[in-house]
């Protein structure tokens, strides 16, 4: 998996062959096929591993929020610090392009978003317990978009550091959630 | 250009050959090379055309805002309606992946973001004239991320319609801009 991430990120998912992956991972092509049906299967496993890791992190944050160890603003700040400037960006864009052309990859990404949306909804309600109905639906949509955009902000070559971005964005998100009804 | 968008969107930028593009566009390969140095050049022209079209739209919105024809919330709503659920998404992810592996494509995207950031800053100050310093820098970063994320929300297979998303997001963005200082 680590070798696949590196190879696909540097050279592109479609431009990399199983033979190249076997060389990079120092295994035989046969050994890869014993674990994965093909490249698409490796991609799905990468998305799954990333989703699991992020959900674990959001789960830990939600527990600390519930225990009163973090304010909601600190919770968003920690979440954003984890997301801003993510790794393997070229690969993640390859995977997203693939999700439109390859139904199973699209389904894996959509399932990941369903899991993220649940946490976002909980955090939105923690910021503003009066949120409900379409205001809550809208908040879920905007916060998800915001997290996605901040995770991929490196494309725009920003001046603001990751820590400043996380701090200022958390403040803005909580302010927005409290200002709507 | 239209043939290139269709072909690259459906089959991938790297998986499409100049010969296939010539057939799709009903021209000869030589005719394409008289206009473009190669596929990378076509990609840059597509990004440039999209950036120009979006800036024209933002320019028109800023004029209507300045003339008092639109409130700032209506301005964001119109901007979002134009951006939410964008076309040729698979192609745009291919291009973004390419921007990390191909400096000229990365530079074209970065230049586009510089133009977008100017409009976003103007809109943020229209929502809250007291914004300055790091609060304004943070607002610029969050709003850019939000627009980017909402443009690519189809990945997450959202339930909320494009018009509801534009309306609710505009409300939230303006609320956030007014709540920070």
CATH code at position A85? 1.10.357
Q: State how far the alpha carbon of A123 is from the alpha carbons of A116, A174, B78, B144, in Å.
A: 11, 9, 28, 22
ipTM above 0.90, yes or no: yes
Write the pLDDT tens digit of every residue in B45-58: 999 999 999 999 99
Contact A149 B148 (CB under 8 A): yes
Mutate to test the interface with A, among B43, B96, B111, B118 (most CBs of A within 10 A): B96
CA distance, residue A105 to nearest chain B CA (Å): 11
**Residue B134 and residue B71: Cα distance in Å, rounded?**
25
Task: List the single residue in B11, B106, B169 with the smallest CB-CB distance to A141.
Answer: B169
| Residue A77 is assigned to a structural domain of this protein | yes
Report yes or no: A90 and B100 within 8 Å, Cβ to Cβ.
Answer: yes
Number of CB atoms found within 10 A of residue B3's CB: 17
| Residue B14 within a domain | no
Q: Band the pLDDT of A87: cuts 50, 70, 90.
A: confident
Count of the separate structural domains present in chain A = 1
Q: Which domain holds residue B91?
A: 40-179
The band of B144, judged by pLDDT with boundaries at 50, 70 and 90, is very high
For residue B10, is it within any domain? Answer: no
Note whether residue A128 is domain-resident: yes
Find residues 131-160 of chain B whose CB sits inside 8 Å of chain A: 134-135, 137-139, 141-142, 144-150, 152-153, 155-160
Please state, in angstroms and rounded to a whole number, the distance separating the CA atoms of residues A129 and A108: 31
Are residues A145 and A132 in contact, defined by beta-carbon separation less than 8 angstroms?
no
pLDDT at position B87 is 83
**Contact pairs from chain A to chain B, CB under 8 Å:** 183
Decide if B23 is inside a domain: no
Domain membership flag for residue A109: yes
Least CB-CB distance to A155: which of B99, B141, B157?
Answer: B99
Closest chain A C-alpha to B30 CA, distance in angstroms: 26
- Give residue-wise pLDDT tens across range B91-135: 999 999 999 999 999 999 999 999 999 999 999 999 999 999 999
Question: To which H or E segment does residue B8 belong?
Answer: helix B2-11
The answer as to whether B51 is a domain residue is: yes
- Taking a contact as any Cβ pair under 8 Å apart, which residues of chain A between 44 and 83 contact chain B? none
Instruction: Note the pLDDT tens digit of each residue in A129-159.
Output: 999 999 999 999 999 999 999 999 999 999 9
The count of residues in chain A is 181
Does A125 contact chain B (CB < 8 Å)? no
A33 domain-assigned = no
């Amino acid at each position: 998996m680590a070798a696949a991430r590196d190879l696909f990120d540097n050279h592109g998912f479609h431009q990399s062959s199983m033979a190249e992956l076997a060389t990079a991972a120092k295994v035989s092509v046969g050994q890869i096929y014993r674990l994965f049906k093909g490249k698409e299967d490796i991609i799905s496993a990468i998305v799954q591993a990333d989703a699991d890791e992020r959900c674990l992190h959001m789960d830990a944050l939600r527990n600390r929020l519930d225990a009163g160890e973090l304010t909601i603003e600190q919770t968003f700040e920690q979440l954003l610090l984890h997301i801003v400037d993510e790794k393997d960006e070229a690969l993640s864009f390859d995977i997203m392009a693939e999700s439109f052309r390859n139904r199973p990859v699209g389904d894996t990404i959509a399932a990941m978003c369903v899991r993220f949306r649940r946490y976002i909804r909980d955090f939105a309600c923690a910021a503003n317990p009066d949120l409900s109905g379409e205001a809550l639906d809208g908040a879920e949509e905007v916060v998800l978009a915001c997290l996605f955009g901040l995770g991929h902000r490196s494309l725009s070559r920003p001046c603001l550091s990751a820590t400043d971005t996380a701090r200022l964005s958390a403040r803005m998100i909580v302010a927005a959630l409290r200002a709507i009804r």
